[in-house]
Amino acid sequence: MFVEFTRSICPLCKTPVDAQVNIRQGRVYLRKRCRDHGEFEALVYGDAEEYLSSGRFNKPGTIPLTFQTEVKNGCPSDCGLCPEHKQHACLGIIEVNTGCNLDCPICFADSGHHSDGYSITHEQCETMLDAFVASEGEAEVVMFSGGEPTIHRHILDFIDLAQARPIRNVTLNTNGIRLASDRNLVAELGRRNRLPGRSVSVYLQFDGFDERTHREIRGRDLRGLKQRALDNCAEEGLTVTLVAAVERGLNEHELGAVIEYGVDHPAVRSVAIQPVTHSGRHVPFDPLNRLTNPDVIRLIEEQLPGWFRRGDFFPVPCCFPTCRSITYLLVDGNQDDRTVVPVPRLLQVEDYLDYVTNRVLPDTGIREALERLWSASAFMGTETTEQKLRATAEALDCADTCGIDLPEAVKELSDKAFMIVVQDFQDPYTLNVKQLMKCCVEEITPDGRLIPFCAYNSVGYREEVRAAMSGIPVAPVAPNALPLADRLADTPYGSRTAARQEGTR
């Protein structure tokens, strides 16, 4: 069933092409054709009913205060942000280097021990931070990433530069190797986290517990290092988000265990689960059989049936609602005697975040609080998130016994609230400009542009920036999958005509 016409790119040559969104057997697919490389198709959403109904959560965008580029060729060729972009930046990302102390088999940034890499300077970091502030006024969150940001010798200086500006919160995206071995670094992060009105949190790669998971995603067994990094963070009072890259056939069976582990560890206040983005380096994959957000949510429900059920996760309205879903838990008790209740069971979240029906509700403060919680700028441990959680918790209805003392839970939100995020970033196969134009997660480049994260990793901007910074031309990494016609060559549908007709078989 044809749903809509849109624009995308050829995953091989990155040329903008026309595309169509179709529904087949209850799932949503993006199909496109490149004049030079043929037809391609990818699964983009594993539940067609939820895809169609998610539109009511599409919140009207807030235009950035400034734009950095002009419209010349149209989306996705003018990123910077250009005046056609429909949303401000909830989260700004600064990649401080391309070098890394790992050479992960899966890395959308294609980072590692490269000779064509670069590291930014203090002056470049200031330019990037100033561009972010100019676009946002008072920015909520900046994330320092890489490469591996903790191996940059000036990473603490960069955090200081961010905290000296009207940016409320800093988060550090790391593999945790240095946090496990350098107690002084962790102590310095903890000291900066205690500054009035500012916070520093850790976004820690954490893909699972099986040795195979670590070796196939990160190239080595990091389980002991992850534990030490988390324990060090707990000692310094740092809030940690566990970030799991999930690949079909590899570690999707570990989602429930990662969430349980996070709930039990004193440093962890949230878990982010991200289906693998097939940009940069990655394992061979089938675009027609990839993991999507509803698949991940269903796996969570199946692996933790006592905690979750259908309807506990809601789309994030500030970006395109099929990109990210969130839920919050109230957790009481310990590992042996624990009660877990998702917040959406205690409050009609849908009534407040449905922008199509747009019901007139008496408490606009609750709607504003939920908008800030269901946002790409929401990170546990920040003052804003704590304030909005408290405002929401005070409105919760526990008429049907939920097993938690709500007044007491409101007093102890810093210990009892837990956040789970499911985020499916677009790659060269799944890129849809309709979603891209609403993106609120922006890469900040050394020359002061803000580029939507999925465009940066898929369209060729990453390679452009690396070439400009290093002086060495960088060829885009072709996705490790074949055009639709070629992938069907050894099947009964082994012709280009059959590939075009695949939807009717």
Q: What is the pLDDT of residues 375-409, one digit of tens each?
A: 999 999 898 998 888 888 777 766 454 666 666 66
For the segment 163-201, what is each residue's pLDDT rounded down to a tens digit?
Answer: 999 999 999 999 999 999 999 999 999 999 999 989 999
Which domains occur in the chain, in start order?
91-444 (3.20.20.70)
List, as one string, the DSSP characters of 111-173: -BS-SS--B--HHHHHHHHHHHHHHHSSEEEEEEESS-GGGSTTHHHHHHHHHTSSEEEEEEE
Cα(340)–Cα(306) distance, integer angstroms: 8
**DSSP H helices in 252-324:** 255-264, 293-303
Q: What pLDDT does 406 receive?
A: 62
Percentage of the residues of the chain whose pLDDT score is greater than 90: 76
Given a cut of 80, whether residue 270 has pLDDT beyond it is yes
- By the 10 Å C-beta count (0-12 exposed, 13-18 middle, 19+ buried), 356 is classed as exposed
Average pLDDT over residues 1-20: 96
* C-beta of residue 258 within 8 angstroms of C-beta of residue 204: no
Q: Where are the beta strands (DSSP E) in 230-299?
A: 239-246, 268-275
> What pTM was computed for the model?
0.91
Cα(457)–Cα(13) distance, integer angstroms: 14
List, as one string, the DSSP characters of 463-491: HHHHHHHHSS--PPPPPSS--HHHHTTTS
Q: What pLDDT does 474 receive?
A: 74
Q: Are strands 27-34 and 38-45 parallel, antiparallel or unpaired?
A: antiparallel
Q: Are strands 2-9 and 16-24 parallel, antiparallel or unpaired?
A: antiparallel
For residue 2, give the H/E element and its range.
Answer: strand 2-9
Read off the DSSP letter of residue 119. B
Read off the DSSP letter of residue 56. G
Tokens 């959308």 sit at which residue? 108
Residue 502 pLDDT level (bands cut at 50, 70, 90): very low
Min mean pLDDT across 106-120, 217-231, 436-450 is at 106-120
N-term to C-term CA, the chain = 13
Read off the DSSP letter of residue 460. S
Closest CA to 320 of 51, 93, 68: 51
Q: Give the mean pLDDT of the chain.
A: 89
Min mean pLDDT across 79-83, 134-138, 466-470, 500-504 is at 500-504
Q: What pLDDT does 490 receive?
A: 39
For residue 496, give the H/E element and its range.
Answer: helix 496-500
Q: Where are the beta strands (DSSP E) in 100-238?
A: 139-145, 167-174, 199-205
Q: Are strands 441-444 and 450-452 parallel, antiparallel or unpaired?
A: antiparallel
Given a cut of 90, whether residue 501 has pLDDT beyond it is no
Q: Angle, to 10 degrees, between the axis of helix 293-303 and the axis of helix 255-264?
A: 70
Both tokens assigned to 164? 């000296």
Q: Are strands 199-205 and 167-174 parallel, antiparallel or unpaired?
A: parallel
- The residue type of 427 is D
Residue 102, φ and ψ in degrees, nearest 5: -130, 160
